[in-house]
Structure 1
Amino acid sequence: MNTSRKPLSVSLVILAVWLVVVVGIGLLQVGGQPTQLDELIKNQIAFGVLGAVIFLPLAITYLKWWAQVGWKGPDNLRDLRLLLPPALSLLILLLIVLFTGLPPARVFVIVVINTLMVGISEELMFRGVLFHGASSSFGTWRAVWITAILFGSVHILNGLITGDFRGSEVQALFAGMFGVWTAVLRVRLDTIIPVIIIHWLWNCLAFLAGPPGWVAFSLSTVLFVYGLLLLRKCRRRKVGLAEAADFD
């Protein structure tokens, strides 16, 4: 099978397997009983996410897609300044954690491990494999929206574990907003590694801090708007280059 000619279909197959692993093993772990995500993330290793962290690198290695998913250092270190707004948001969450106090050591370690696995799994899947597939067929700008919408949508499936689909819909909205600015950063930096780190720290601090709703909403909205501005600049730059090429 020549996977280089149909990355979109291959990435969708990988997404389907990823969903079966994450959701299927997650349901088996909780025994089909409604369980809050906080309880799962803080009290035990999430085996569904662990399975995804094992599966994705194997799939990417088999397909030889490591460069395509952005597993490399940034081409221009000056572009790292684009990480300043997310870094400031993480600092706010960190201050909330320090103000409210750290949990017991066991809970802290489990949260760090689980959120690191989530960051690796979800970024490799959506801003890595799926973004490569979508951008190959629809272009970068559309791929940002496609991956963000799908990223938000799959979070509705958390309702299968928690039993709270209304809460999952709210989470899906936040995840969709998160998916926009992280995808844009992945494009502008041309690497997925900083985005994995941001995703990990964001989830880790959010679970540890349990920030008030208005804080989480405010930070998410600001970063979403920031992502839109970066996306608009990126599109203008590409249009400008295309016009210059036509002129030449």
Structure 2
Amino acid sequence: MKRLHLTLPLALAALLVWLFLTAGLGSLSGGAPSLAASVAGGVGIGWALAALFALLLLLISERRADAGLGAPRPWRAFLLALPPLLYALLMLLVAWAGGWPPANVLLIVACNTALVAVSEELMFRALLLRSLLERHALWPAVLMSSALFGAAHAVNGLASGDLGGASWQALAAFLQGLGYAAIRLRTRSVWPMALVHGVWDFALVTSLLTTAGTGEGSVLPFAALLAVLPLCLYGVYLLRASQRAAFQSPN
């Protein structure tokens, strides 16, 4: 069977479908008043469908091995994801410093943040980044994929009405995207960063839920830009010129 060639225009069209599945379905059904409320309100069918949609496109593509669906190559490359993973766990400790939501809420949040992490990594660090690298050099492709990642988070403002929150989230997502893309390229796999991404989102959402219950302001949202700077700088370090030969070829 002839496989699909994921050109950049096709990847951008897929992004529009993905955005509809993640944000459009919630808007059509009434949506939720905030991002935290939507994540804690029940298992997100739209996020699950978006993840399945991106995975299906990658599985039927002609260069799926290049998209990072396999394990890290070599296995020890997974160690590159340990610093951001430990950092994400530190964010989780900060989020839970003032307590945590009920266990049933934590379970729903864990499920949804896992779905979001897998969905976004497949869309932006597998499908889009792979397509951009076919047309552009390394840094332009990384910057453009990260900019699209940030722009996609601005859509949350349209869905929830929280334009201010969507703005800092979009800028933070752009900076995070640089670090995520670097580790995806160095490990040749999307799964290490899907793990880090899920822990990070879990920390952020549980922080928002905890402070919403107490009426206090959350530390993490207001410190988000500063919090993601280490991850961004780590990504820049991983993509330094002396290390590019290790992953310059996508094969």
Within 5 Å, which residues of 2 pair with 1:68-79? 68-79=66-77
Equivalent residue for 2:7?
7
Taking a change above 3 Å as real, the CA distance of residues 240 and 187 of structure 1, as seen in their structure-2 partners, is closer
The Cα RMSD (Å) is: 2.4
Using the TM superposition, name which of 58-67 and 163-172 deviates more: 58-67
Distance 1:95 1:67 in 2: 36
Superposition deviation, residue 175 in structure 1 = 0.5
Taking a change above 3 Å as real, the CA distance of residues 188 and 43 of structure 1, as seen in their structure-2 partners, is same
Distance 1:241 1:165 in 2: 38
Instruction: Determine whether 1:22 maps to 2:22.
Output: yes
Q: Is the 8 A contact 1:89 1:219 kept in 2?
A: no
Q: Is the 8 A contact 2:156 2:166 kept in 1?
A: yes
Equivalent residue for 1:104?
102
Distance 2:229 2:180 in 1: 13
Q: Which has the larger radius of gyration?
A: 1
| 2:143 partner amino acid | W
Equivalent residue for 1:212?
219
TM-score, normalised to structure 1, is: 0.86
Equivalent residue for 1:38?
36
SS of 2:60's equivalent? helix
Using the TM superposition, name which of 152-161 and 179-188 deviates more: 152-161
Q: 2:120 aligns with which of 119, 122, 136?
A: 122
Distance 1:67 1:76 in 2: 14
Superposition deviation, residue 140 in structure 1 = 2.5
Equivalent residue for 2:230?
222
Runs of 5+ consecutive residues of structure 2 not aligned to the other structure: 209-217
Runs of 5+ consecutive residues of structure 1 not aligned to the other structure: 243-248
Paired positions, count: 237
| 1:167 partner amino acid | G
Superposition deviation, residue 7 in structure 1 = 2.2
Distance 2:96 2:183 in 1: 28
| 1:206 partner amino acid | L
Distance 1:240 1:116 in 2: 29
Judging by fraction of residues, say which structure has more helix.
1
Taking a change above 3 Å as real, the CA distance of residues 241 and 194 of structure 1, as seen in their structure-2 partners, is closer
SS of 2:64's equivalent? coil
Q: Is the 8 A contact 1:90 1:201 kept in 2?
A: yes
Q: Is the 8 A contact 1:93 1:209 kept in 2?
A: no
Taking a change above 3 Å as real, the CA distance of residues 18 and 164 of structure 1, as seen in their structure-2 partners, is same
Within 5 Å, which residues of 2 pair with 1:123-162? 123-162=121-160
Give every structure 1 segment of 4 or more consecutive aligned residues whose post-TM-superposition deviation is greater than 6 Å. Answer: 239-242
What per-residue deviation string (whole Å, max 9, x for no partner) do you get for residues 170-197 of structure 1?
A: 1100010010000000011111111111
Distance 2:247 2:41 in 1: 52
Equivalent residue for 1:55?
53
Equivalent residue for 2:81?
83
Q: Is the 8 A contact 1:23 1:157 kept in 2?
A: yes
Distance 1:225 1:187 in 2: 15
